[in-house]
Amino acid sequence: MTTYKEINGTNIEAVSSDPANPVLGQVWYNTTTNVVKGLGATATDAWATGGNLNTARSQMGGSGSGETNALGYGGESPGGEHAQTEAYNGTSWTEVNDLNAATRLQCGIGIINTAVLAAGGYQPPGYQSKVESWNGTSWTETTNTNSAKGAGGSAGTSTAGLAFAGVPGGPMATNESWNGSAWTELADLNTGRRNGGSSGVLNTAALYFGGEDPSSTAVTESWNGTSWTEVGDLNTARAELAGIGSSTLALGAGGFAGTYKADVELWNGTSWTETTNIPTAHREYGKGAGLSNTSGVIFGGKTPPVSAATYEWLGAGAPVVQTFTDS
């Protein structure tokens, strides 16, 4: 990293607070904290710790485009199911309007945090086919899925979504597509599973990886809009892992396979590669927020106990604010 001595003498902008949207390579001096900072790029894959959720919980639904645009909703803690919804801005979580019904294990669909579907999930006494739609302000009940489902995968947007796999009745292989007004049953997965990781920004291109059938598996399947195809396995078989990204650039993190996992793997469209672990092993993740495997955010889960932790993924080359020191 460049030090203060190496840049001393260069004209550096003096500001009273850090700029809200610095550009790569920008350097400034914060007169309030008396610190020189700049926006550089990460040399290697890394995780940063973000702001904690207001309510610690696991088995949440998640949606959004990345570490500055995420929505977390539902979930559970030892007290039972939750209806709380929180929005993340890259620094902190803000409580917004609750789900209409306290639910966990929903299929979370949506690539921005102002247009989301929460499909299915568990509400005592059982799994549901209920669906709620988020418009950035409030949740509204909309058309049910054709079959009850929870602990499955999801992809797409609030008007063109996909919900697949999960439970009840043992690990399911079912697959349904949403067109903004109705659900249509499509081709099943090759292997019925629950508690896998999922990714996909379209309802015609999705990835489902890991899970239980009923034991932990490394199987990965890719959806092309018509059928599912088995592709390269995860390096570490596990269930209850977080997933972010697209069908060709995905990330799977954490999970459980007899022990709590911190392992992280990146999908490049052909195979999985192991990369930097999350700071603390977690299980019972829901879907995170992120459009590719180069940036995103995962949150909640269980360590144990249930967690409020937020981890931001900074892939190699991702912009990050750096502090310069006189050394």
For 15-47, write each residue's pLDDT tens digit: 999 888 787 778 888 899 888 888 766 656 899
Phi and psi torsions of 210, nearest 5°: 70, -155
Cα separation, 305 vs 282, whole angstroms: 10
Residue length, the chain?
A: 327
The predicted structure's pLDDT at residue 36: 84
What does DSSP assign to residue 237?
Answer: -
Cα–Cα distance between 81 and 3 in angstroms, integer? 50
d(CA 92, CA 205): 31
- Kindly state whether residues 37 and 63 are assigned to the same domain: no
Distance from C-alpha of 167 to C-alpha of 122, rounded to nearest angstrom? 10
Q: What is the model's pLDDT at position 12?
A: 85
Taking 50 as the threshold, does the pLDDT of residue 1 lie above it? Answer: no
CA distances from residue 145 to 76, 190, 320 in whole angstroms, order as listed: 22, 21, 41
Q: Which tokens sit at 127?
A: 């799994």
Structure confidence at residue 2 as a pLDDT band (50, 70, 90): very low
pLDDT, residue 315, reads: 82
Q: Is residue 322, in this structure, part of any structural domain at all? A: no
**Using an 8 Å Cβ cutoff, are 103 and 141 in contact?**
no
Tell the residue number behind the tokens 């995780």, with chain if given. Answer: 47
Residue 50: strand, helix, or coil = coil
- The answer to whether residue 323 sits within a structural domain is no
Do 95 and 146 belong together in one domain? yes
Residue 258 lies in a domain: yes
**94: pLDDT strictly greater than 70:** yes
Which residue range(s) make up the domain with 17? 4-41
Task: With cut-offs at 50, 70 and 90, classify the pLDDT of residue 327.
Answer: very low
SS3 211: coil
- 56 lies in the same domain as 185: yes
Sequential DSSP letters for 271-295 = -EEEEPPPSS-BBS----B-SSSSE
Same domain? For 29 and 100 the reply is no
What tens digit of pLDDT does each residue of 250-275 get?
Answer: 999 999 999 999 999 999 999 999 99
Mean of the per-residue pLDDT values for the chain?
92
What lies within 8 Å, CB to CB, of 196 at 6+ separation is 152, 153, 165, 208, 209, 210, 211, 212, 239, 241, 243
Task: Return the CATH number at 222.
Answer: 2.120.10.80
Q: Is residue 319 part of a domain?
A: no
207 and 237 housed in the same domain? yes
Is residue 179 located within the same domain as residue 300?
A: yes
- Quick one: tokens of 216? 């932990």
Q: What percent of the chain stands above pLDDT 70?
A: 92
Task: Please report whether residue 185 resides in a domain.
Answer: yes
The helix/strand/coil state of 1 is coil
Q: What is the pLDDT of residue 153?
A: 98
Identify whether residues 50 and 24 lie together within a single domain.
no
Answer yes or no: is pLDDT of 282 > 90: yes
Q: Is residue 90 over pLDDT 70?
A: yes
Residue 326, pLDDT > 90, answer: no
Residue 271 CA, chain-centre distance (Å), reads 20
58 part of a folded domain? yes
Domain count along the chain = 2
d(C-alpha 101, C-alpha 114), whole Å: 19
How many helices and strands (H and E) does the chain possess? 1, 31
The yes-or-no verdict on residue 199 having pLDDT over 70 is yes
Name the nearest CA neighbour of 99 among 61, 131, 139, 127: 139
pTM listed for this prediction: 0.86
Least confident of 4-8, 147-151, 222-226: 4-8
Q: Could you read off the pLDDT of 112-147 as tens digits, one per residue? A: 999 999 999 999 999 999 999 999 999 999 999 999
| Count of CA atoms in the C-beta half-sphere (13 A) of 110 | 27
Q: Mark whether 25 and 138 lie in a shared domain.
A: no
Q: Is residue 325 part of a domain?
A: no
Tens digits of residue pLDDT in 206-256: 999 999 998 999 999 999 999 999 999 999 999 999 999 999 999 999 999
> Does residue 96 share a domain with residue 164?
yes
Do 92 and 143 belong together in one domain?
A: yes
Same domain membership, residue 50 and residue 23:
no
Q: How far apart are CA 306 and CA 323, in angstroms?
A: 33
Same-domain pairing of 16 and 59: no
- Evaluate whether residue 238 is within a structural domain: yes
